[in-house]
Copies of this chain bind each other. A is one copy, B any other.
Amino acid sequence: MAIVLGPNRYGKAETRLVRVHRDGETYGLVDFNVSVALSGDLAATHQTGDNSGVLPTDTMKNTVYAFAKQHGVGEPEAFALLLARHFVKTQGQVDSAKVSVESYAWDRLGPHSFQKRGDYTRTTVVTVSREATQVVSGISGLVLLNTTASEFHGFVKDRYTTLPESTDRILATAVDAKWRHLGDAADWATSFQGALDAMTGAFVNTYSYSLQQTLLSMGTMVLTNRPELAEIRLTLPNKHHYLVDLSPFGLENDNEVFIAGDRPYGLIEGTVTRDDAAPASAEWYL
């Protein structure tokens, strides 16, 4: 028996990049949070502190900024691919580079003026190894709510069950979703917008008997509409809205007044996949 080093990686997390592009009098704005993680032959630095195979994380940060100048910054997937390929290509000791980007949207107010949107964050995680390239796109913090068209009943009852059955409830969630692309080239902007519209449309149009049912509808609609995608993982908190008991005050509450609860919350997680898609080449939804 021996105690040995297992899987490991290292990198620079949360490099905050703002890139301005000028087109005459009109300015464009890109706002990213970039994280890089490299893995490969890193035993020496762990075992003896020999850093001869360690590209400093400070250099990764510099590379993000230099590439932003040299190549410009467009879609997050493209920028992440550029960075990940660079590290694998130039660092022989690196087997795999994972580049994650959070992208924040701004609305234009004028030729050089912007207002930050806060409705959701667009995400990407690109993993480039010597064998394969994997692109995952996603979204976090998209909060959706239906005031009706949601029921929940017919569930298991055991000794500890007190929940009444409901034929009309609020259904609300904060969508955290990631979807894996079949390839490493796409019209990233169109693909993202299409996936978002499919998810949102399915949430709105599904008459729901469980949040699980809504989840499967959302995932299925995304894969139906976006042939370039292999699979999607949705993590949906069930943001409970509790009907207030107004009977002590002689008032009825016909699904009008709710407490928006913080904790606990339901948490529904599920994957929807094409059954003939090649398996993922790296962790993809974590």
Interface on A for B, CB 8 Å cutoff?
A: 1-22, 27, 29, 31, 35, 37, 42, 45-59, 61-63, 65-66, 68-70, 90-91, 106-107, 109-110, 112-120, 141-149, 151-163, 170, 200, 203-205, 208-213, 215-216, 219-220, 223-224, 231, 237-238, 241, 244, 246, 248-249, 251-253, 255-276, 286
Contacts and interface: CB of A to CB of B under 8 A. Distances in A.
A90 B267 contact: no
Contacts of A49: 151, 208-210, 212-213
Nearest to A174: B116
A204 to B, nearest CB: 4
Contacts of A51: 152-156, 209-210
A62 B249 contact: yes
Max chain B C-beta neighbours (<10 A), residue from A54, A270, A286: A270
A260 B57 contact: no
B154 A251 contact: no
Given A45-B212, A141-B118, A263 B59 contact: no
Contact of A144 (B8, B115, B204): B115
A265 to B, nearest CB: 6
A156 B56 contact: yes
A153 B54 CA distance: 10
Contacts of A109: 144, 200, 204
A241 to B, nearest CB: 6
Contacts of A204: 109-110, 113
Contact of A66 (B29, B63, B118, B249): B249
B148 A27 contact: yes
B270 A8 contact: yes
25 contacts: A3-B220, A3-B275, A5-B271, A8-B215, A8-B269, A13-B267, A17-B258, A18-B258, A31-B260, A45-B213, A49-B208, A54-B156, A55-B155, A55-B156, A55-B158, A58-B163, A59-B156, A62-B162, A112-B146, A113-B147, A114-B147, A115-B144, A116-B143, A117-B118, A118-B119
Given A257-B65, A260-B31, A6 B272 contact: yes
Contacts of A271: 5-8
B118 A154 contact: no
Contacts of A149: 112
A26 to B, nearest CB: 10
Interface centre among A12, A46, A154, A262 (most CB of B within 10 A): A46
Contacts of A208: 49
Contacts of A219: 3
A29 B145 contact: yes
